[in-house]
Chain A
Amino acid sequence: MSQVGKLVSLASFLATHPRITVEEAARATHRTARELIADMKTLLMVGVHPYSPSDFIGYAPMTAGMNSAITIHFADHFKRPLNFTPQEALALKYALGHFALAADAPTRRQVDALSGALAEMLHGRAAQELSSLGRGFVVSRPTERMRGLLSQLALAGEQRKIVEIEYYSAHRGEMSTRRVHPYRVVESGTHFYLFAFCELAAATRHFRVDRIRKATVTQSAFVSNPPKVPKSGRMTSTLSGKTVEYLTVMFTKEVASDVQDEWQGVPEAAISTARGGRVVLRLPLYNDPWAVGFAMGFGGHAEIVKPLRVREMLKRTQENALRAHGG
């Protein structure tokens, strides 16, 4: 990817934001202060003939602290940024489209208005790409109730308001009411999670947003800040995508070929054969309730071997399900 394009855009930004602080510029340009300073140092080398000191891009102060204001010299000719490339137009369009899918109705209207305004202001291929109907990354749209809930929680987080939630825990299989300090709303895999300090647990937790029955924003403000290194506990694998633990499942010979068709050759999955035509599948475990659902999907043809707690969870789920069916 072009380093030049990135640096020219940064030069345009800095030229149009005189006296912006290092901290603000880093936030606004979505990079760390260290990355910003490194990029600015590269820009320092840029100049034109005859290369007198005033012909080079420069900024002050050279050893900027986070709150120092950046003054950039000899960059006025960068003030008008380059037009969008078709790729930049598409990236913006796809990001806006994806963003709008999980947004509430007023935000969606804002996104539509912004897309329309940009398509009118830009020109050439970029404008065509922005106004075309094609979608590049197609995901399901959350229900209106979910979109409202996501916006409500995000706003409470911005306003630092404590929220009371009624939450269904899939691990415990029961509802509880908790007061939480909402820090982040995080999309991971196919779900959204609320990362918050839970007063009941006296620790941070990730709550799946579709399992929040009701959220009431209180008038009480919270002052605590999210931990610098958030602890995800049993959600670590789900949120980071890193394998912490493996799931081992044994399948009967009746479904062995289906399992082999689905999982043979899949990265990170290992299949071995066992006695009586059975097969054993080992794959990363990202989420206990998912593992239970996965095994249940095979009816009685799948048995969780490891970890034992998930095996027990499956057994409890099956017993409860049988009870619910009068069995």
Chain B
Amino acid sequence: MSGGVSRTERQLNLVSALLKARDGLAWPQIEVIAGYNDGLTKRSLQKRFERDLKELQGIGLLVTSELIGEGTRRYAIDRGRCLLPPLNLTPQQRILLFRVGISYLEEGGAGPLTDHLARALLKLQAGSGINALPDELPPAIVRRSLYRRPAEARHLDAIGLALLERRRICFGYEGHRREQSRRQVAPYALVARRGGWYLIAYDPERKAERTFKLSRIRGQVEFARGSKAGEFDVPDGFDSERSFSSEAFGAGMGTCKNVRVRFDADVAFIVENEFGGTYQIEPAPNGAVVLNLPQAYPSELLRYLGEFAGHWEILAPADLREQFIHRLRASLRSAP
């Protein structure tokens, strides 16, 4: 607070004065703005003013200054760079933007995008001119969310914000062999796979991109010391999915090859819903289908099949089928 005026109020007053003054403001006009008129020395007030200008850059307000006399400067908004040009959005495009807003903002599903997205949508509505809203706003039916696993939510929020702001982060990480390390990285993308999120980031210590599973992050994710918005760029040609297999049930050593699973008519459509267009699905008698997988880890596949009660049958390979039957018998025998 300065002289009973909060920082928010002072900065809003400054924005208001800068937007209103077509010819800019010189110091005598600035020092009468509420928040700069509390009797401190000129040097202290000018420092406060410079700090405010720096913070206002963060909301897109770029202020230029020119010397207009001995030691006197005039400050003005660079209107060309600072203000949105008139937007010519169609009514359908405005409704689409409204739908995006209600889908993500009303129940917090946008997570780390929330604040920046809310401001972007408001600016677009305002920039579309007087009364840009349709006569009747559609009801809120669809709710979208970026969250996957609840335990990852706070990491997703912190990393997602750093990703938007292009700021480095640091966190504790536990590797596959339970080795602990402290990592400082530049986040490039978040990729959702197998129910959880993975971070792809540039690790300057290792001079390479690395992949981190969010569920293996320990403690808090924090901005790196001295980090600031826009401190790195994601390189052109960066492929966020390069290090991920496109196989739903895993790829590589230890997988079973050429797996065939038959699903009966009750659940065949669920397989079509999930894998139609990705894997070959053959029709079988009585409305059943056969899903053909080039490869799959047995454990990953069984985890998926477990949700379908007894509506499926492993047809091939024979050793996977035998192994599975053997395991089921053993499991049922040991169950009381």
Contact = CB atoms under 8 A, between A and B. Distances in A.
B151 A158 contact: no
Nearest to B93: A114
Interface stretch (B68-76, B233-241, B252-260): B233-241
Interface string A112-146: 01100110011110000000001111111011111
A115 to B, nearest CB: 10
A199 interface: no
B93 A42 contact: no
Contacts of A49: 17, 29, 32-33
A320 B238 CA distance: 47
Contact of B325 (A50, A78, A89, A325): A325
B329 A123 contact: no
Given A10-B122, A186-B143, A99 B100 contact: yes
A82 B81 CA distance: 9
B284 interface: no
A263 to B, nearest CB: 9
Nearest to A312: B335
Nearest to A240: B150
Given A30-B105, A296-B306, A303 B58 contact: no
Given A30-B101, A79-B126, A300 B330 contact: yes
B285 interface: no
Given A145-B273, A170-B309, A134 B147 contact: no
Interface string A286-324: 100110111111111001000000000011111111111
A122 B86 CA distance: 9
A22 interface: no
Interface in A20-76: 20, 24, 27-30, 42-43, 45-51, 57
A188 interface: yes
A236 interface: no
Interface in B75-99: 81-89, 92-93, 96-99
Interface in B139-158: 139-151, 153
Contacts of A2: 55, 58-59
B7 to A, nearest CB: 8
B316 interface: no
Contacts of A80: 83-84, 86, 127
Contacts of B100: 95-96, 99
A88 B115 CA distance: 8
Given A48-B16, A87-B229, A189-B147, A5 B328 contact: no
Contact of B307 (A4, A45, A293): A293
Interface string B269-285: 11011111110000000
A154 B141 contact: yes
A274 interface: no
Contacts of B165: 87
B130 A297 contact: no
B64 interface: no
B138 A297 contact: no
B81 to A, nearest CB: 6
A85 B60 contact: yes
B276 A16 contact: no
A114 B96 contact: yes
Given A12-B123, A80-B84, A316-B309, A158 B149 contact: no
A327 B160 CA distance: 49
Interface in A173-227: 173-175, 182-190, 210-211, 213-214
A272 interface: no
A324 B84 contact: no
B291 to A, nearest CB: 13
Contact of A134 (B61, B140, B234): B234
Contacts of A45: 9, 12
Contact of A297 (B59, B141, B303): B303
B59 A265 contact: no
B141 A121 contact: no
Given A137-B146, A210-B274, A300 B313 contact: no
Contact of B305 (A9, A20, A293, A322): A293
A137 B275 CA distance: 21
Contact of A46 (B12, B137, B313): B12
Nearest to B118: A30
B178 interface: yes
B76 to A, nearest CB: 13
B83 A143 contact: no
A85 B59 contact: yes
Contacts of A174: 266
B121 interface: yes
Contacts of B215: 266
B125 interface: yes
Given A99-B100, A136-B163, A145-B276, A122 B241 contact: no
Pick the 4 closest A-B CB pairs, nearest first. A320-B310, A296-B306, A293-B306, A241-B150
7 contacts: A13-B122, A83-B83, A136-B163, A170-B308, A189-B149, A321-B305, A322-B325
Interface of A: 1-10, 12-13, 15-18, 20, 24, 27-30, 42-43, 45-51, 57, 77-92, 94-96, 98-99, 102, 107, 110-111, 113-114, 117-118, 121-124, 134-140, 142-146, 149-150, 154, 157-158, 168, 170, 173-175, 182-190, 210-211, 213-214, 241-242, 261, 264-268, 284, 286, 289-290, 292-300, 303, 314-325, 327
